[in-house]
Copies of this chain bind each other. A is one copy, B any other.
Amino acid sequence: MEKERVKLVGFWASPFVHRVKMALKMKGVEYQYIEEDIRNKTPLLFELNPVYKQVPVFVHNGKVLPESRIILEYIDETWKNTPLLLPQDPHQKAMARFWADFSDNQLGKVALEALCSRGERQEKAVISTVEALEKLEQELKGKVFFGGDSIGHLDLVIGWISYFMPLWEELASIKILDSSKLPAVNEWLNRFLTHPMIKDDLPKKEKLYAYFDEVSRRIAPLYGSEI
């Protein structure tokens, strides 16, 4: 078989890119990585993802695909003879999709607001973030990973919590990952961060800290705050 031509266009701090990198590593797929500066987007990104102009973009044998969760499913369906990321039972698969969407669209939004807002708005956003995580706590109970005994689709999608949330807590002087309220999530977080497939490829903490310090100040006005 002709060698696969696999490219990933990404940005070093993007959790949406990291989940794809993790999937490719778990699947043992070799690829060319192309770093994109999302503050100074190149014509390549506009050409590959004209609708959203965002990373990641995945290119497989010339076929272009944007959107990280859709890319994850594509990878799982294309490289089938490797550990599967989504459960094969249709209902379990559907629920993994449900919580993955919840993580990106509900949890992600309130967590970012907790990072970037101040005062009463921040207090409310912290409460909403904890409440969202408590839902995932229920989903995780009795399991080693969201995927069951091994890392799966939902772990990769939710993975951002493990390397972002402690930094965001520090940066915004807030407490979210309370181990008395979220014992399973806290255990999962350590298990995920120290997993052999994950631990060596995460962005460096200091670099991420500086990045989010700048990002949170820049977007704070959107949340009614000047920080």
A174 at the interface (CB under 8 A from B): no
B65 touching A101, Cβ below 8 Å: no
Q: Which A58-112 residues sit within 8 Å CB-CB of chain B?
A: 60, 63, 65-67, 70-71, 73-74, 77-78, 90-91, 93-95, 97-98, 101-102, 106
- With A67-B101, A101-B67 already in contact, the answer to whether A74 and B51 are too (CB < 8 A) is no
Provide the residues of chain B in CB contact with A90, threshold 8 Å: 74, 77-78
B67 touching A91, Cβ below 8 Å: no
In the assembled complex, the Cα of A93 lies from the Cα of B71 at a distance in Å of: 11
Provide the residues of chain B in CB contact with A67, threshold 8 Å: 97-98, 101
Provide the residues of chain B in CB contact with A91, threshold 8 Å: 60, 63, 65, 74
- What is the minimal beta-carbon distance from A136 to any residue of chain B, in angstroms? 11
Provide the residues of chain B in CB contact with A66, threshold 8 Å: 98
* Chain A residues engaging chain B, CB cutoff 8 angstroms: 51, 60, 63, 65-67, 70-71, 73-74, 77-78, 90-91, 93-95, 97-98, 101-102, 106, 135
Task: Sort A-B residue pairs by CB-CB distance and give the 7 closest, nearest first.
Answer: A77-B90, A74-B94, A63-B91, A78-B90, A70-B97, A70-B94, A74-B90
- Since A65-B98, A66-B98 are in contact, a sample of 18 more A-B pairs with Cβ atoms closer than 8 Å, ordered by chain A residue number, is A51-B106, A51-B135, A63-B91, A65-B91, A65-B94, A65-B95, A67-B97, A67-B98, A67-B101, A70-B94, A70-B97, A70-B98, A71-B94, A74-B90, A74-B91, A74-B93, A74-B94, A78-B90
